[in-house]
Structure 1
Amino acid sequence: MTTSDSLRYTRIPTHQSGTIPAVGFGTLIPDPLVTRRATKAALEAGFRHLDCAERYRNEEAVGDALREAFKAGTLQRKDLFVTTKLWNTNHRPERVRPAFDGSRRRLQLDEIDCYIIHTPFAFQPGDEQDPRDEHGRVIYDSGVTLAETWGALERLVDEGHCKSIGLSDITLDKLREIVSIARIRPAMVQVESHPYLPEWDLLDFCREHGIVLQAFAALGHAMKPNVLADPVITAIAERLHRTPAQIALAWALQRGTAFLTTSTNSRRIQENFDISALPDDAMREMRDQITTNIRFNTVVKTGVPGFILRAG
């Protein structure tokens, strides 16, 4: 891991894409107009890694914000790392390229820096993103394997416009399976990770294979128990005159992960970018004294992201 100027500009090397900006802005924001404003605020704050997804249904709004920044000359495409994701209903190989091209069109970008399989679970193919049976149960697709979907992503890299590929909501066992058969290894995996779910074993595996581990819900996504109210974190924050969020995000970078943070508040967006290194004793305290262990999102068991509303 290398830093330039300060912690907030950390870039993590990967076997496939050179380096990836570790500080990322997530665009899981329901309202398109708010998405556009928040994306603009994130770019102005200094974020250079944007995380998007077909499932968020707001790629057009992100694309509009990018086009505005490019047109104004405040941002160059080469300085930006954009990730977007293949949704569960498009796992069949013949659906992968159309889904990828659809995301590129909506984002108004010729190239995607990293295209990620949103979850390892294939849903019934079709236009309904959340297919359910008459009992409200998800309709899965047993006609395709994750390895077949991965092969289709590898062909996207071969054909151009897709610089690297990755996985999200993946367990260590599933990641091992893909790495063992992959012709092109994942450049990045995106998983829930925060001080209450550090995923040390997964992080060690990723380091061994040149894969970036990117933490989503890096601040706990305001779930209970509240990560940002943890007494170890709040004590460090008070001692260092920083916010608990800044402590948790600095911890994420210094232990070797990238992270995503999402907000619609311009002040908080700036605050989440303005992070600086923690002293060694604070890093030790967080590793040794935080004992709570909890996963907030059950997506790794179902393929249904817990932070995305079904309606809309």
Structure 2
Amino acid sequence: MVESDNLRYTKIALNNGSGAIPALGFGTLIPDPVATRTATRAALEAGFRQLDASERYRNEKEVGEAIQEVFQAGAIRREDVFIATKLWNNNHRPERVKPAFEASLQKLQLDYVDLYLIHTPFAFRPGDEQDPRDANGDVIYDKGVTLLETWGALERLVDEGRCKAIGLSDVSLDQTKAIFEAGRIKPAVVHVESHPYLPQWELLDYCRTNGIVLQAFAALGHSSEPKLLDDPVIAAIAERVTKTPAQVLLAWAIQRGTALLTTSKTPNRIKENFEVSALPQDAVREISDGIKSRVRFNTVVETGVPGFIPREKRV
């Protein structure tokens, strides 16, 4: 196996002509603000050129500070980094989209983002509360807005030039089709949980056919049980090609044609996760065809409530 190749630098062209997204991306879902800043900077210094943020993570300010520190150091320019953030559920009403977008830009200290995603297809009660609940603790949804209406507000952001591409997150194949068919601007990226236990082949085929990039989050299983990193097929391949299980999983994701996100707070692990190289094709097929387990680690697609983010503490 060739140890030094260009797999880690793979880019996937976007269907709207705005450029290409680096396949290997760093996710900023890190609860601790100080760790967010340190990890984001470490990711850029390790070589990551795609960053994924969200207003729901409540750390866009720290991500922005880390980005600006790196840019000001002079080795990496803004145009070298593909930066995405996301609209949260309480801001789905069209009149709330632009203010939410502007707030994200301000926290990130950016003039534009490369990609803006609707974080989930679920609209929550509009307001300042990200996780509105009734007296029984149930989510308060907003029945007064459709996903297509929210999409229209994102299209207008593209028209204004401060958002290069738009996309969907935590959606089903049917929801993706509905927006693709009805939208004036087509989704450039669909961001969903995907890994060998949840390969999303049907959605990936649809995305490939229509020039949409499928971006996989939880590409390493998010440390959830059953542990993907401990899967015997992955472990055996890792030993065979002298790579870590994480590097095997990340290489598989890129070689099957998806973009992906990986997250860590540890600089050495961040560097390791960037040092991916191509797997032999038989290993790629072994993962795709040989792993039969089917597990979804994040139930956000059922409720709009993120499975990897703790509930807000009520005062």
TM-score range, shorter chain: over 0.9
Tell me what 1:178 maps to: 179
Distance 2:213 2:27 in 1: 16
Deviation per CA, 1:91-124: give whole Å up to 9, x if none.
Answer: 0000000000000000000011000000000000
Query: Helix, strand or coil: the match of 2:7?
Result: strand
Distance 2:271 2:163 in 1: 30
Query: Helix, strand or coil: the match of 1:97?
Result: helix
Query: Helix, strand or coil: the match of 1:233?
Result: helix
Tell me what 1:308 maps to: 309
Deviation per CA, 1:220-269: give whole Å up to 9, x if none.
Answer: 10111111111000000011111000000000000000000000000100
| Gaps in structure 2 of 5+ consecutive residues | none
Distance 1:37 1:18 in 2: 28
Distance 1:99 1:60 in 2: 14
Distance 1:299 1:305 in 2: 5
Query: Helix, strand or coil: the match of 1:220?
Result: coil
Tell me what 1:46 maps to: 47
Provide runs of 4+ in structure 1 moved above 4 Å: none
Query: Helix, strand or coil: the match of 1:245?
Result: helix
Q: CA deviation at 1:48?
A: 0.4
Tell me what 2:229 maps to: 228
Instruction: State which drifts further: 294-303 or 115-124.
Output: 294-303
Equivalence map 1:149-164=2 (5 Å): 149-164=150-165
Equivalence map 1:284-295=2 (5 Å): 284-295=285-296
The answer to whether residue 139 in structure 2 is matched with residue 138 in structure 1 is yes
Equivalence map 1:122-137=2 (5 Å): 122-137=123-138
Tell me what 2:275 maps to: 274
Q: Return the TM-score normalized by structure 2.
A: 0.97
Distance 2:14 2:202 in 1: 18
| Gaps in structure 1 of 5+ consecutive residues | none
Q: Number of paired residues? A: 309
Residues 19 and 268 of structure 1, relative CA distance in 2, 3 Å threshold: same
Distance 2:67 2:19 in 1: 23
Distance 1:165 1:5 in 2: 31
Q: CA deviation at 1:18?
A: 2.2
Q: CA deviation at 1:289?
A: 1.2
Instruction: State which drifts further: 268-277 or 283-292.
Output: 283-292
Q: Check whether the contact 2:91–2:127 (CA below 8 A) recurs between aligned residues.
A: yes
Distance 1:74 1:123 in 2: 41
Q: CA deviation at 1:190?
A: 0.4
Tell me what 1:10 maps to: 10
The answer to whether residue 211 in structure 2 is matched with residue 193 in structure 1 is no
Tell me what 1:248 maps to: 249
Q: Check whether the contact 2:120–2:304 (CA below 8 A) recurs between aligned residues.
A: yes
Tell me what 2:108 maps to: 107
Distance 1:296 1:57 in 2: 22
Tell me what 2:65 maps to: 64
Distance 2:24 2:302 in 1: 27
Q: Return the TM-score normalized by structure 1.
A: 0.98
